[in-house]
């Protein structure tokens, strides 16, 4: 199993550009999430999904879109990048069972810089 | 809303000694999970230990153990016999125990731990 994979690992954008961060998992997990990590703030939830076709907003959703057409993939879209979106982005997945509480498996992260 | 607070931005410990990292949280939920994650310089997030709020017994995983005080909303991590490989950022995290909450972790700010030889 590859686990949770993210591409790209690094990306530099100019303000106003758009891009998609890719996330895929091969563990047949129902839950998938996107977090951003900023110094001194820990990880904050951007969007999450409880299954194909179902997504919802987290703490910091503004400026980001998601969709989940398959169980395996959960891409994160930045429609018009801003310097405030400079961050490290993590995708995570976990299985269902007993109302959650299962380990979230994290991808290796994408470091995004917006100039 | 739930919040998680780690009041120690940085800590250091000598190799082979014991260190305790603090975490407090605020919630009106009665059933939830608490986690400690480790993030070494490689940036990979690694689960260290998990505690179910309905369990009174504190979780342990080898050299790692927690002191869970539900009434005080406190969840500290004790690392015994510290090793150089324990050097990392440590995050405390909270998750509600409810249907469809499995993908929603709330993290603290992190504590950067340095283990010195």
**Pairing mode of beta strands A105-106, A110-114:** unpaired
Closest Cα in chain A, distance from residue B54 (Å): 12
Mean pLDDT of all residues in A83-99: 87
**Count of CB atoms situated within 10 Å of the CB of B103:** 28
A-B contacts (CB, under 8 Å): 82
B98/A41 Cβ within 8 A: no
pLDDT at A97 over 80: no
Q: Do A96 and B102 touch (CB under 8 A)?
A: yes
CB A75 within 8 A of CB A19: no
Q: Which residue did the predictor score with more confidence, A59 or B99?
A: A59
- Alpha-carbon span A90 to A9, nearest angstrom: 10
For chain B, give the mean pLDDT: 94
B102 and A50: CB-CB below 8 Å?
yes
Q: What is the pLDDT of residue B101?
A: 72
Distance between CA atoms of A59 and A49, rounded to whole angstroms?
14
- Residue B104 has its nearest CB partner, among A45, A106, A108, at A45
More confident residue, A28 or B79: B79
Give me the pLDDT at residue A100, please. Answer: 53
DSSP A6-64: EE-SEEEE-TT--EEEEEEESS--SEEEEEEEETTTEEEEEEEEEETTEEEE-S--TTE
Mean pLDDT confidence for A74-90: 97
Q: What is the pLDDT of residue B103?
A: 77
Between these two residues, A101 and B42, which has the higher pLDDT value? B42
| A104 chain-B contacts, CB cut-off 8 A | 45, 47, 103, 105
CA distance A4 to B102: 16
| Residue listed under structure tokens 């082979």 | B16
Average pLDDT over residues A34-60: 93
Q: What is the DSSP letter of B40?
A: -
pLDDT score recorded for residue B2: 87
pLDDT of residue B11: 97
Chain B CB contacts of A99 below 8 Å: 31, 97-99, 101-102
Report the pLDDT value the prediction gives residue B62, as an integer from 0 to 100.
95
């Amino acid at each position: 199993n590859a686990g949770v994979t993210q591409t790209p690992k690094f990306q530099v954008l100019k303000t106003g550009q758009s891009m998609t961060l890719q996330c895929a998992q091969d563990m047949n997990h129902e839950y998938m999430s996107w977090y951003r990590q900023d110094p001194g703030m820990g990880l904050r939830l951007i969007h999450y999904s409880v299954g194909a076709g179902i997504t919802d907003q987290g703490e910091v959703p503004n400026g980001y879109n998601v969709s989940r057409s398959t169980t395996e993939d959960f891409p994160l879209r930045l429609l018009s990048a801003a310097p405030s979106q400079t961050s490290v982005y993590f995708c995570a997945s976990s299985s269902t069972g007993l109302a959650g509480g299962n380990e979230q498996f994290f991808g290796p992260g994408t470091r995004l810089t917006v100039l | 809303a739930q919040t998680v607070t780690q009041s120690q931005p940085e800590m250091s410990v000598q190799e082979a000694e014991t260190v305790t990292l603090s975490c407090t949280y605020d919630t009106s939920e009665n059933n939830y999970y608490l986690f400690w994650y480790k993030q070494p310089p490689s940036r990979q997030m690694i689960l260290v230990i998990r505690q179910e709020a309905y369990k009174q017994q504190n979780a342990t995983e080898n050299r790692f153990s927690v002191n869970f005080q539900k009434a005080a909303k406190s969840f500290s991590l004790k690392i015994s016999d510290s090793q150089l490989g324990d050097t990392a950022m440590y995050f405390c995290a909270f998750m509600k125990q409810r249907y469809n909450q499995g993908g929603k972790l709330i993290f603290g700010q992190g504590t950067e731990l340095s283990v010195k030889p």
